[in-house]
């Protein structure tokens, strides 16, 4: 099995064994970061962000720099030739000769996939519209694996904007590939998980899917609580956003009924949906989760570039 030269556009592009190889390498990196500080010497990451980002962009860039490589790119499409009307196909054809690997974030669903068709270097989807966010999924799975020890037989609640939240779409689809998981979907009616995602879940492996608008009625029986922000930028009108934005706010009071070992996760950025008082709770792992994002991206790039030989 080799990941060398592959693209990662959708989590379904990788087998569960390939996921495991990424996690195992990420764990090795966490144990001994020094050993990996030179493995990407001479390699260049193109960081192409057509949509705002803090964590994803900086964690990719940090990951490449921590492995001794270099980074070029842009964090605002207005400063690239896209603003002159250049297609993503032409951009990526050219960038293929400037870099060895590229991460693309784009507001249009499918843009990274299109780019991968014209690219001679590995393309990683850094989030495409409301569609998928595979490297956040790798980050989330590494977090769950580290704190829970397993990716199966767990009750995972997704709360907030399940309609537009691409991190939810990628994570639930991937977790449904592991056996005996239960999913609890907590959202306002208008922001429910899209039907096509629900149908794409592996029903053979999944034990149960519960949909509710009522957070309090289900909080006592959850292993992983995955909170998400209402995705303001994907709304067609401001009034709907304003009406829905504070639908759920997790605070100490609500957590009183939760399991003592429930993990509280969030892909970040947080707006209002988790009170700051929750940050002190031992169950809150969202900042640790963001840190894992760097190690998992180091592992992923090392494997796609083929610079790590013992995988
Ligand atoms: C997420 C994203 O961009 O989809 N952020 C991230 O990558 N960590 C979540 C969000 O923006 O709400």
DSSP output for 244-298: HTTS--B-HHHHTTS-TT-EEE--S--SSSB-GGGGGSTTB-HHHHHHHHHHHHH
d(CA 175, CA 141): 8
Instruction: Classify 125 as helix, strand or coil.
Output: strand
Show the domains of the chain with their CATH numbers: 11-132+293-305 (3.40.50.1370), 134-290 (3.40.50.1370)
Count the neighbouring beta carbons within 10 Å of the beta carbon of residue 262.
19
**Full-model pTM:** 0.96
244 preceded by cis ω (within 30°)?
no
Q: Residue 84 catalytic?
A: yes
The ligand 1 site (C-beta within 6 Å) comprises: 55-56, 127, 133, 136, 166-167, 228-229, 267-269
CA atoms of 284 and 293, how far apart (whole Å): 16
Q: Which residues contact 73 (CB under 8 A, 6 or more apart)?
A: 45, 46, 47, 48, 49, 102
Tens-level pLDDT at each residue, the chain (311 residues):
799 999 999 999 999 999 999 999 999 999 999 999 999 999 999 999 999 898 999 999 999 999 999 999 999 888 777 777 789 999 999 999 999 999 999 999 999 999 999 999 999 999 999 999 999 999 999 999 999 999 999 999 999 999 999 999 999 999 999 999 999 999 999 999 999 999 999 888 989 999 999 999 999 999 999 999 999 999 989 999 999 999 999 999 999 999 999 999 999 999 999 999 999 999 999 999 999 999 999 999 999 999 997 64
The pick from 127, 135, 274, 296 for probing ligand 1's pocket by mutation, whose C-beta has the most ligand atoms within 8 angstroms, reads 127
216: three-class secondary structure by DSSP: coil
């Amino acid at each position: 099995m080799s990941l060398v030269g592959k693209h990662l556009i959708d989590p379904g592009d990788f087998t569960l064994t390939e996921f495991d190889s990424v996690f195992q390498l990420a764990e090795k990196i966490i144990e001994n970061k020094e050993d990996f500080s030179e493995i990407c010497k001479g390699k260049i990451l193109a960081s192409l962000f057509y949509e705002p980002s803090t964590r994803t962009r900086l964690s990719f860039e940090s990951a490449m720099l921590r492995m001794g490589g270099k980074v070029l790119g842009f964090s605002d499409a207005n400063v690239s030739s896209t603003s002159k009307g250049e297609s993503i196909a032409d951009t990526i054809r050219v960038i293929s000769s400037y870099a060895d690997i590229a991460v693309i974030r784009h507001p249009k669903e499918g843009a990274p996939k299109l780019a991968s068709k014209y690219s001679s270097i590995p393309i990683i989807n850094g989030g495409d519209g409301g569609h998928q966010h595979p490297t956040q999924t790798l980050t989330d799975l590494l977090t769950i694996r580290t704190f829970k020890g397993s990716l199966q037989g767990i009750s995972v609640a997704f709360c907030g904007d399940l309609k537009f939240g691409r991190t939810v779409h990628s994570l639930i689809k991937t977790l449904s590939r592991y056996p005996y998981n239960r999913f609890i979907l907590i959202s306002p009616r208008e922001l429910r998980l899209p039907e096509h995602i629900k149908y794409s879940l592996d029903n053979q492996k999944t034990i149960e899917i519960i949909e509710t608008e009522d957070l309090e009625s289900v909080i006592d029986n959850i292993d992983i609580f995955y909170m998400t922000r209402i995705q303001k930028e994907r709304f067609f009108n401001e009034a709907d956003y304003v009406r829905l934005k504070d639908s759920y706010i997790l605070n100490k009071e609500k957590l009183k009924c939760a399991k003592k070992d429930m993990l509280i996760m969030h892909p970040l950025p947080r707006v209002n949906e988790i009170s700051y008082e929750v940050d002190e709770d031992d169950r809150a792992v969202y900042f640790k989760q963001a840190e894992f994002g760097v190690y998992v991206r180091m592992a992923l790039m090392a494997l796609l570039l083929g610079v790590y030989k013992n995988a």
